[in-house]
Amino acid sequence: MLLSILSMALIVGFRDLSAGSDTISYARAFEELSGLISFEWIEIKNAFVTNNIHFVDFLFAIFTFAISRITDSFNIYLSFLLVVSLFILAKSYKRVLPEDYFFSLAIFFCSFTFVFIFGNAVRQSLSVSIIALALIKLFLDRDYRAYFFLVFIASLFHIYAVLFFSVIIILRLKNASVFLMPFYCMILSFIIPKLGVLIFNFLGLPIFSSKLSAYFNEPASLSFNFISGVFFLSVSFLLSNLFDDARVNIIFKIYSATCSIQFLALGSEIAFARLGGYRFIWEPVLAIILIAIICESKLKSTIAKYIFMCVTCIYFYWVSSSESVMYTLGV
């Protein structure tokens, strides 16, 4: 596992600056922070305001500054962050699939998500991995304190992660019907982002509130977001109660929670796409579960099994023919 993580981190970390949409921005930020004599938060804020760096995430800025004290190589910096991110993600996979986690990791390395997030959105690669571990703590260990702590840490790497504090509210809807769950989440999509902006303003952190507000003010194709959001949320919510195996149900509950958080960005193109990363990283685990379901028939009824297989076929067809995937890969 360690060898595969190190290999992929070096391959992706030593990419050209022209690769992806965000790499060049992180290169500029690394150069900017490398020039600081000492770490001063006011200088980070000034650099953000003057567009010399494009982030204000406190812990990520500290990480970047600390690594710049050790090396002036941007590619080594990227590789180190990827090793940390992938190691945390592998630990999360191992908690839910102790015997097959390496296969999930291998599937993930072959996925578009790995290229899009871990090969482009550097801050979010750290954030999604920490959130994955946080969800394990919440659903598998029932450790609420660890969950809140890890969400807080993830938020200091990428502001999007702050939305996962609302998972506790969504859990209160666990007894809702599969038809009402999307409706409740749609209501929350109008409340939670605005509430986050108000909280940051109340705490005297306008720079964070403006950043969060900017993410959610990008207009989107509401119909596409709504249809895809309802589909994934409803299916995952329905499947989280169909299995005899408690661990499989927990995996689908985690996936359902990430679908719910993505649904909060219903009206924003950028936020909906970015929050999808927190959901996509669980799909390699679901792929292993799918194989087990088909081979071992773990569903409670034959009808449910065929429904699940049909939904899965539709999903994989939709993903393989996605225009956004083809465009990003340059096909």
pLDDT of 224 reads 58
CA distance 52 to 61: 13
Two tokens at 279? Answer: 């959901």
**What is the pTM assigned to this prediction?**
0.81
pLDDT of residue 48: 60
Q: Which of 327, 280, 320, 324 is nearest to 124 (CA)?
A: 280
95 alpha-carbon distance from chain centroid: 18
Estimate the crossing angle of helix 101-109 against helix 74-96, to 10 degrees. 140
pLDDT at 148: 92
- Phi, psi angles (nearest 5°) of residue 219: -60, 145
Q: To 10 degrees, what angle do helices 246-263 and 222-239 make?
A: 160
275 vs 273: CA distance, rounded Å: 6
Q: How far apart are the first and last CA of the chain?
A: 31
Q: Check the CA dihedral 34-40-46-49 and report its sign.
A: positive
Q: How much helix, strand and coil, in percent to the nearest 5, is found in the chain?
A: 75, 0, 25
Residues whose CB falls within 8 Å of the CB of residue 196, separated by 6 or more in sequence, listed in order: 162, 163, 209, 212
Is the Cβ–Cβ distance between 267 and 216 less than 8 Å?
yes
Per-residue pLDDT at 134: 94
Going residue by residue through the chain (331 aa), what tens digit of pLDDT does each one get? 778 888 888 888 888 877 777 788 888 888 877 777 666 666 666 666 555 566 667 788 888 888 888 888 998 999 999 999 999 999 999 998 887 788 888 888 877 778 878 887 788 889 999 999 999 999 888 899 999 999 999 988 888 888 888 887 777 665 555 555 666 666 666 677 777 777 777 776 666 677 777 666 666 565 556 666 666 666 666 666 666 677 788 888 888 888 888 877 777 777 777 888 888 888 888 877 777 766 665 555 555 556 555 655 655 555 444 444 433 333 3
Q: What is the pLDDT of residue 50?
A: 58
Tell me, what's the pLDDT at 271?
78
Enumerate the β-bridge partners of residue 268. 219
Look up residue 132 and give its two tokens. Answer: 């994955």
